[in-house]
Amino acid sequence: MARALPSELRERALEAREREGLSIAETAARFMVGTASVKRWNRRMKSTGSVAPSPVGGVRRIWIGEDDRTQLVELVEKMPDATIEELRAEYNSRHGSAVSSSAMHRALQRFDLTRKKSPSTRPRRRPSV
């Protein structure tokens, strides 16, 4: 994703538009930005009094943190054959939370928890000699 254009450029564009009576399209062409950007900056200036860009992104919240580690270890020990989806459903029912499958997968990786699948119980066919 591209970075936000500087506030200085935004301010200069809106000042030129107001001072010279430029249309949105003319302002966009002069400053080599999109017309939608000029519209957005204009709307932001009217509503907030500033053209500063909004913060982008944020901190990814870790849903299953260190304080939940022991509970997750107990869950994996109790259900060693469970899929990630089954672990997620059980964890959510116990904690009343809404942890996603990907969050469960990341937590298992972060805590180095492996799920041991039982070997198949079907007997192997041996060739007759």
Residue 72 makes CB contacts below 8 A (sequence gap 6+) with 64, 91, 107, 108, 111, 113
- Residue 115: band (very low, low, confident or very high) from pLDDT cuts 50, 70, 90: confident
Question: Taking residues 12-17, what's their average pLDDT?
Answer: 96
The token pair at 47 is 């509503």
Identify the pLDDT of residue 127. Answer: 74
Least confident of 14-23, 39-48, 52-61, 102-111: 52-61
Q: What is the pLDDT of residues 57-113, one digit of tens each?
A: 766 666 788 888 888 889 888 988 888 999 999 999 988 888 888 889 988 998 888
CB atoms within 10 A of CB 10: 24
Neighbours of 18 (CB within 10 A): 12
- Distance from C-alpha of 42 to C-alpha of 20, rounded to nearest angstrom: 15
